[in-house]
Amino acid sequence: MGILLFITVLLIAACGLIYELIAGTLASYLLGDSVLQFSTIIGCYLFAMGIGSALSRYIHRGLAYRFVWIELMLGVVGGFSSALLFLAFAYTQGFQLLMYALVVVIGVLVGLEIPILMRIVKERYQFRDVVAHVLTFDYLGALGASLLFPILLVPRLGLVRSALLFGLVNVAVALWSTFLFGKQLPSTRALRLLCIVIICFLGVGMLQAKRITAAAEDNIYADEIIFARDTRYQHIVLTRFKDDIRLFLNSHLQFSSRDEYRYHEALIHPGLSAVPTPRRVLVLGGGDGLAVREILKYPQLESVTLVDLDPEMTRLFSTHPMLTGLNQKSFLSPKVHIINADAFPWVDSNTDSFDFIVIDFPDPTNYSLGKLYTTAFYKAASRHLSTQGLMVVQSTSPMFARDSYWCIVETLKQAGLKTYPYHVYVPSFGEWGFVIASTHEYTPPTLLPAGLRFVSVDGLSSMFQFPPDMSPMPMPPNRLNDQVLVRAYDQDWKDISH
């Protein structure tokens, strides 16, 4: 009896934390700014738990009966929380309202659980033992959930199924509580039947999880979804319309196959063609292999090292027939070495030197990405440049995110690099910006690889000229302890959307 009680505490603690993590992750995927989303959700959740704990004092009778009902309500509300949030984002304007409402409801119910359970078992143990054991198993449950969530649940089950699974755990706790506390319950048969019905209901949800997600994503994305997966790091979606394949990471467009050649030719060739006798290239980000495709047009290269955080991305673009057609099987070249690691610690610890460094990360929509646009990161990356080396940085739009673009330029300058900003027009994105950076003078190349579709020697000079509406803006640098870039980027796109 005793160990079952404390296993109950462990499981309900895990369930409560999983629901909180799911809400924070979903908000980060769909709204961006992970620090803001997780901070507000954790704050609301803890506040609601406090309300639940305060309300528990007014429950005097029928504690076991009410505990069972709390578990049933958590199983239903928490279990379907992820599915409801996906559908709300796709079909309504009330995503944030629903999200915080669910967080508050779940938090209040979780806040009721432990005080009521402690009062149920206090007659069997001394108070000090009750507190010690309950809190110990509560914290162990939270630890287990925090480890399982990124390592197993999100990449294997996804957010919808993970929530439903832990909803089933809550209902299973309710079911075995009817046996643990049977003598204290007025109608065990009816409660057990209700538990079984809800378990079946959640089980159907588990079976239909893909349909639920597909229904939501079909309304979020205009075109047919041919691939969707949650990984430990992001939500990957590929869509197709006729011959146009598009990649979305956390709902943000990364490329369209119809015009990505403009972006990737502009990213690579103005810099790499200017390096005399390049031998070794480093790509940070670029897990789609499209930048590597352009780099391999230089036969004199001996090696290309690509560092990308997400192994699912590099696996997908190494094996999916449609995608290997786009990147021309660049990841299968014997010259290419793929390392799945966080670029920040990798550049800090690695000692290799490279003739050309490509920094091709998603836009700085949150602080975890923003750290890759800081003076600290650029200084660390520049230490890998050979004496003749150049570095190029994807730098968002100088038209639509003007402050952000010039903040990146200033950050590179503050990192001790000479900067050469330029821009091109990519139909899917509009005007898009890049920056070549080096420790020496850069001279545009007079010779480019054959067969390019967009970049030409004659057109290079115009890339480095900025009209008045994209001209330089005075901006502070983006530093690790004060990421002004993330805030500027958020404000830039808010201004555009209004």
List the catalytic residues: 360
**Distance between CA atoms of 353 and 383, rounded to whole angstroms?**
8
Burial 150-183 (b: 16+ CB within 10 A, else e): eeebbbebbbbbbbbbbbbbbbbbbbbbbebbee
Its sign, for the CA torsion 80, 81, 86, 88, is positive
286: its two tokens: 């670029």
* Gyration radius from the chain CA atoms: 27
Name the one residue in this structure whose structure tokens are 């030409």: 456
Its sign, for the CA torsion 313, 317, 321, 323, is positive
**Distance between CA atoms of 71 and 206, rounded to whole angstroms?**
19
**Distance between CA atoms of 433 and 484, rounded to whole angstroms?**
19
Beta 280-285 vs 354-360: how paired, if at all?
Answer: parallel
